[in-house]
A and B are shown apart, each in its own frame.
Chain A
């Protein structure tokens, strides 16, 4: 085991997959000469050359669509969209084409491609560069949407995404790139065949008082919340969704059946957000087990402000999530720290 950053896990895994499979190429804005806006593709151009590391024009619809077409002919493009906000330019290609081609042609051709893209607030990037709009893609059958929260997940899930025959939207979060975690030995070996199971959530910390559900950066924050509350003798079980579509309902429903209460933390907006789907699923799958209403802690429903205090206030935090957990537990008379 070694401890590396989320960024390093992505970079090493991407490289390993390119070494392993000649059909894997990377495409995107500034990924070659510039080595990536967030340096995930650092060193790849030098090692693999411009045939396999393609700098594209700033024309998301054109190059995302080109990656889809290339995938139809059997290549395995890994596209980097500089931020998920720019995916809106390519949304027709992603939703109308990548997601539909397998189905509308009766299974004759698939689209084995990955769109890697960071998102999220907290970097003072303002309204159009601080969004988590994965909901749009999680809504669409035919797409797979993955949201790893740790370096180990980032590695095994990226490997799975590249080897999968369907289009995968692979969410990264700007707040995760420098976070560190343990990865298994050999994670960066091209011969490594350990891949994550797509569509499988994980109970990343066991607990008995309440279930806290998150994904991507919020799964990391959820772990911090659980650690903090443990000091106050509150036992929080953490579920990391990992995959937003397909959604592993069973894992979090089973957890809620065990603990009897749930809080969902999400980096996106509340109304119609991912948390709404989770809450509805808990209601359908574990209503009789609930001791309290399911609580959601989400981003404030505003276009993200630039000013730091406003931005900080708009995002869920360890404190706001902890408060929601304590309120939920006290509502049902459970012991609170």
Chain B
């Protein structure tokens, strides 16, 4: 096991208080091509602005249901998504908008899904928590904590069954690591040597409960040890560190046909969902979550600026073009038609049965 983001002082225990004031310990930009670096920066800005727009539309009641945003976790999202090959599969939880876009889904259709429109990726049937796209192999956001773990394990089983060289990435939050499905899935994945990387996004708060309050072993990357699964921890504020660590584990999962565990820690800038004011955090904790030094976009932007790749003009230019694109997505969603009520019974069964119930609430069971 390697702890690639060990905080100063030698302990890997990353409680909120101990993380405070920590300097960025990530590596530099390496020899990555400038256009790639700027593309990552742009993608992160895109996710940030998309989510801000989403939050705005939610408070305007244009989006219903629940809405969980990736604000503060953009480097983790883009780092993980750029590490995946096109042929690799992704399963996520309900905090899935950024992953959907990062995996290559059309942001316009992601936004339309949030609006519950017929051009949405799931035709308006899923909403915020259920982005899905066969083509880009984003196999779904799932709303039940940990529900996606057994499914992702099964997808890896199908790959292994056919002798394929794809890998499954299964994303989850820190709160997931205490449910039965976590233990059962990691056990099965190792037992059957499945090509899967379990990724825990540790923002140190499962809704409002801290990781120390819920996990007897709060250093989550170590918890694969019970299943002989190698685990690593990475600074989730650093897009390149996330990409490099994830890439290495994905390629090992591919070649060695075995599961891995990756923990990426970062700050969730806002509450669990748009309607959560995060009152369980102290003012100090809230400031810490939003601090520039913990903001992945700020951190990466500074690094690019220092390297002479990102001027103020370019930063503004990127922000403006992203803003236009996000506005275009919102317009697309606004103008997409609502699903026709006549389609209400279209997606109950893949193989429909003649006498399946297609009864509207006030209809008699036996219509003449």
Q: Which residues of A contact B (CB under 8 A)?
A: 25, 51, 54, 56-57, 59, 61-75, 77, 92-93, 96-97, 101-112, 141-142, 144, 164-166, 198-200, 246-250, 253, 281, 284-285
Contacts and interface: CB of A to CB of B under 8 A. Distances in A.
Contact of A69 (B157, B348, B354, B366): B157
B161 A75 contact: yes
Given A62-B181, A104-B125, A199-B356, A72 B191 contact: no
B187 A57 contact: yes
Given A65-B154, A73-B155, A106 B350 contact: no
Contact of A105 (B130, B161, B180): B130
30 contacts: A54-B192, A57-B191, A59-B188, A62-B150, A62-B185, A65-B150, A66-B151, A66-B154, A66-B188, A69-B151, A69-B153, A69-B154, A69-B155, A70-B157, A72-B151, A73-B155, A75-B158, A75-B161, A97-B144, A97-B151, A106-B123, A106-B126, A107-B346, A108-B122, A108-B134, A198-B353, A199-B356, A200-B355, A246-B355, A249-B355
Contacts of B139: 72, 109
Contacts of A93: 147, 150-151
B123 A107 contact: yes
Contacts of A62: 150, 153, 180-181, 184-185, 187-188
Most buried by A among B91, B192, B347: B347
B357 interface: yes
A109 B134 contact: yes
A106 B347 contact: yes
Contacts of B365: 249, 281, 284-285
A230 to B, nearest CB: 30
Contact of B350 (A96, A107, A247): A107
Contacts of B130: 104-105
Given A69-B157, A164-B351, 17 more contacts: A61-B150, A61-B181, A67-B154, A70-B154, A70-B155, A72-B139, A73-B155, A92-B181, A93-B151, A103-B348, A105-B125, A105-B132, A105-B140, A106-B126, A110-B350, A165-B350, A246-B353
Q: Looking at chain B, what size class is its interface with the partner chain? A: 35 or more
Nearest to A281: B365
Interface string B161-188: 1000000000000000000110011011
Contacts of A68: 150-151, 154
Contacts of A166: 349-351
Contacts of A111: 350
Most buried by B among A67, A72, A166: A72
A258 to B, nearest CB: 16
Contacts of A71: 154
A45 to B, nearest CB: 15
B150 A284 contact: no
A92 B154 contact: no
B72 interface: no
B161 A101 contact: no
Nearest to B123: A106
Interface in B128-143: 130, 132-134, 139-140, 142
B231 interface: no
B210 to A, nearest CB: 25
Interface string B187-226: 1100110000000000000000000000000000000000
Contacts of A74: 158
B55 interface: no
Most buried by A among B125, B132, B157, B349: B349
A37 to B, nearest CB: 20
B189 to A, nearest CB: 9
Most buried by A among B122, B152, B161, B354: B161
A101 B144 CA distance: 13
A97 B142 contact: yes
The 4 nearest A-B residue pairs measured at CB: A65-B150, A69-B154, A62-B184, A106-B123
A71 B350 CA distance: 13
B364 interface: yes
A63 B142 CA distance: 18
A73 B181 contact: no
A246 B149 CA distance: 29
A166 B356 CA distance: 13
Given A73-B158, A92-B147, A110-B350, A284 B364 contact: yes
B123 A57 contact: no
A59 B161 contact: no
B107 interface: no
Contacts of B181: 61-62, 65, 92
Interface string B338-368: 0000000011111101111100000011100
